[in-house]
A and B are shown apart, each in its own frame.
Chain A
Amino acid sequence: MNGRELVRFATHSALSHRLRSVLTALGIGIGVTAVVLLTSMGEGLHRYVLEQFTQFGTNIIGINPGRSTTFGASTGIFGSVRPLTIDDAEALKRVPFVLNTVPVVQGTASVEGGGRERSTNISGVGPEFQTAFDFRVALGTFLPADDPRAPRPLAVLGAKMRHELYGERSPLGELLRVGGERYRVIGVMEPKGQVLGFDLDDTVYIPAARALELYNRQGLFEIDVLYDKAVPADEVVAGIERMIIARHGGLDVTITTQQQMLDVLGSVLDIVTFAVAALGGISLLVGGVGIFTIMTIAVRERTAEIGLLRAIGAGRAQIRAIFLGESILLAGIGGAGGLLVGGLTVVLLGVAVPALPVGIALPYVVAAEAVAVLIGLAAGVVPAQRAAALDPVEALRAE
């Protein structure tokens, strides 16, 4: 009995109980469908989040004040952290391969303009912000390249902010109060949307030095360094470290490359995908219990047939193979059906609800089918073993 004949034999006997076999396979099918659907959503989320993060390019290095290291004892004056200043941002522009640096101060403040008032996000940035992050101006201009230490009180509005305060009217040249100080509006940004819940459009952009004053802060939140794509991040980081050590007398900042951020984020999202796959796996397991039940019943029902097969020359191994083959077949077919239904649903969802981030996670899909077959194997082992162990005389007597 070769493999093909075994499959035919198994198909034959599975088809003789059509409804029962279909229902059993359905159990596995639903499990595989669940795995495909859930992991597709996990994968979609994964892609969505990474896209949000990489829309500004991956050649960005973030520098934050302070170092995430634990010291054994108080390090006194040597352990002190110097604030990151606008001068630091200027100096970092001289590090090799650095194209631009953007000082960043963020906060919220009450903004008055056009006779209305709104509490909103304030981003204190440098004039390089616009080019570094590929951020387009819809009206007017972005913050000009003033003396970074004493910039003029100029402001640029996010698209939503402009709409809220001025409606359709052009806000250019209007006066704006940010936290009580007067600014003149010189530009409006194009809509950009949200990045992980932070609405870039509901923001007022002012010079970083002014934001420091507004919040009465010594140091910047962050300096973003844009570097030449062709150069490895490590080399740029080394240059930044030398510059910081030279200026601060020690490395008292945390440097994060975009790649590191993506790695951390990616591993978190991988866990999410894995977790939903495990949830789907539970329904696969339930399907496996169904196969086990049906195979146990089948062995009992077909005891006389097993006796006959033994009498006409089937060895124990052949009996085992016949029943294992049948349970693997049920699981395999159920799994394939599940793949089909799950895959189609994902595609249809993608068409029907384009906003929903879905994407087929191929490794999980392949794994789901493999697990389905393995479950068929595992669920079939005990019944098949029982069938093989039957005494032929006893089995023949069953009718």
Chain B
Amino acid sequence: MAMIRLEALGRTFEVGGQQVRALDQVDLTIEAGEYLSIMGPSGSGKSTLLNVLGLLDTPSVGAYWLDGVNTSTMGDDQLAATRQAQIGFVFQSFHLVPRMTAAENVELPMLLAGIGGAERRERAHRSLAGVGLADRADHRPAQLSGGERQRVAIARAIVMQPRLLLADEPTGNLDTGSGAEIVRIMETLNERGLTLIVVTHDLQIGERARRRLRLRDGRVVEDLRAAQA
């Protein structure tokens, strides 16, 4: 059974009294463990697709099956619980809470999930060590470089051991070197079985993915699979 299945999915927004089709008739199947990039010009609907896949946005028409469950049947609390358990997010602007240390930021999802303090600290530490930031645990975001911030964000995204990692322009605010490091970390996670979906308009990064989607005007216009390396 496919991990993700989209059927004739559409998402329309109302902008200034006009209906805008951000997504239009998208059919897509993604297997567990895939490494997928989504590319396309601005306004092509790639972020909307990522938000729908991440259960942050709900489709206007069509169906989204996640692990065989139709997500349109889920209530808001159930959607939140599914995000918590299954999906990790990495954002372009990191979205770290500035008043909290790196470790506290990583602990946040576990805090919301009601995991006890001792376990939280232990898992946060392990997760930070996994991205090579064990010695930065007590730093606040302002004291970290951009690359380090994004690594904290990755540590936070994977601390709940999700099956799906969604990255929206993860290198957009980073220099080339840090960006490459971030991509390498995510690819390592993918090699260990995490399904990885990256939205980017950086061709070099997009072409590293084994499967490449190209969107235009809300439609999938290209779905390329690279030969197994």
Could you list which residues of chain A lie within 8 angstroms of chain B, going by C-beta atoms? 1-2, 5, 9, 12-13, 15-16, 304-305, 307-318, 392-393, 396, 399
Asked if B147 CB lies within 8 Å of chain A CBs, one says no
Cβ B109 vs Cβ A313 within 8 A: yes
CB distance from B95 to the nearest CB of A (A): 4
* Contact A310 B80, CB 8 Å, known A12-B99, A13-B99, A393-B56: yes
A399 neighbours in B (Cβ, 8 Å): 93
Most buried by A among B95, B114, B160: B95
A308 to B88 Cα, complex, angstroms: 11
B95 neighbours in A (Cβ, 8 Å): 304-305, 307-308, 311, 396
Cβ A313 vs Cβ B85 within 8 A: yes
B81 neighbours in A (Cβ, 8 Å): 313, 315
Cβ A1 vs Cβ B112 within 8 A: yes
Cβ B112 vs Cβ A313 within 8 A: yes
Cβ A314 vs Cβ B80 within 8 A: yes
Cβ B97 vs Cβ A308 within 8 A: yes
* Contact A315 B76, CB 8 Å, known A12-B99, A305-B97, A393-B57: yes
A393 to B168 Cα, complex, angstroms: 12
Chain A facing B: main interface SS? helix
Interface size on B, residues (CB 8 A): 28
Asked if B100 CB lies within 8 Å of chain A CBs, one says yes
CB distance from A60 to the nearest CB of B (A): 67
B109 neighbours in A (Cβ, 8 Å): 312-313
28 residue pairs from A and B, CB less than 8 Å apart: A1-B111, A1-B114, A2-B114, A5-B111, A12-B99, A13-B99, A305-B97, A307-B95, A309-B112, A311-B83, A311-B89, A312-B83, A312-B84, A312-B108, A312-B109, A312-B156, A313-B81, A313-B83, A313-B84, A313-B109, A313-B113, A313-B160, A314-B112, A315-B76, A316-B77, A318-B112, A393-B57, A396-B91
Cβ B76 vs Cβ A316 within 8 A: yes
Query: B110-130: contact bitstring with A at CB < 8 Å (1 yes, 0 no)?
Result: 011110010000000000000
Could you list which residues of chain B lie within 8 angstroms of chain A, going by C-beta atoms? 51, 54, 56-57, 76-77, 80-81, 83-85, 89, 91, 93, 95, 97-100, 108-109, 111-114, 117, 156, 160
CB distance from B9 to the nearest CB of A (A): 16
B85 neighbours in A (Cβ, 8 Å): 313
CB distance from A322 to the nearest CB of B (A): 9
A316 to B100 Cα, complex, angstroms: 22
A392 neighbours in B (Cβ, 8 Å): 56-57
B108 neighbours in A (Cβ, 8 Å): 309, 312
B156 neighbours in A (Cβ, 8 Å): 312
A311 to B165 Cα, complex, angstroms: 12
A315 neighbours in B (Cβ, 8 Å): 76-77, 80-81
A308 neighbours in B (Cβ, 8 Å): 91, 95, 97
A1 to B114 Cα, complex, angstroms: 5
Determine the residue in chain B with the shortest Cβ distance to A305: B97
Determine the residue in chain A with the shortest Cβ distance to B120: A5
Cβ B99 vs Cβ A16 within 8 A: yes
* Contact A310 B97, CB 8 Å, known A1-B114, A315-B77, A396-B91: no
B117 neighbours in A (Cβ, 8 Å): 5
A16 neighbours in B (Cβ, 8 Å): 98-99
A317 neighbours in B (Cβ, 8 Å): 77
A12 neighbours in B (Cβ, 8 Å): 99-100
Determine the residue in chain B with the shortest Cβ distance to A311: B89
CB distance from A100 to the nearest CB of B (A): 75
CB distance from B79 to the nearest CB of A (A): 9
CB distance from A305 to the nearest CB of B (A): 6
A299 to B112 Cα, complex, angstroms: 18
A5 neighbours in B (Cβ, 8 Å): 111, 117
A1 neighbours in B (Cβ, 8 Å): 111-112, 114
Determine the residue in chain B with the shortest Cβ distance to A6: B111
Closest 5 CB pairs of A and B: A313-B84, A16-B99, A315-B80, A312-B109, A308-B95
A307 neighbours in B (Cβ, 8 Å): 95
A312 to B76 Cα, complex, angstroms: 13
A313-B81, A315-B81, A393-B51 are known; give 6 further A-B pairs, CB within 8 A: A1-B111, A1-B114, A312-B160, A314-B112, A316-B80, A399-B93
Determine the residue in chain B with the shortest Cβ distance to A302: B97
A318 to B51 Cα, complex, angstroms: 21
B113 neighbours in A (Cβ, 8 Å): 313
Determine the residue in chain A with the shortest Cβ distance to B56: A392
CB distance from B72 to the nearest CB of A (A): 17
Determine the residue in chain B with the shortest Cβ distance to A317: B77
B77 neighbours in A (Cβ, 8 Å): 315-317
Cβ A312 vs Cβ B89 within 8 A: yes
Determine the residue in chain B with the shortest Cβ distance to A313: B84
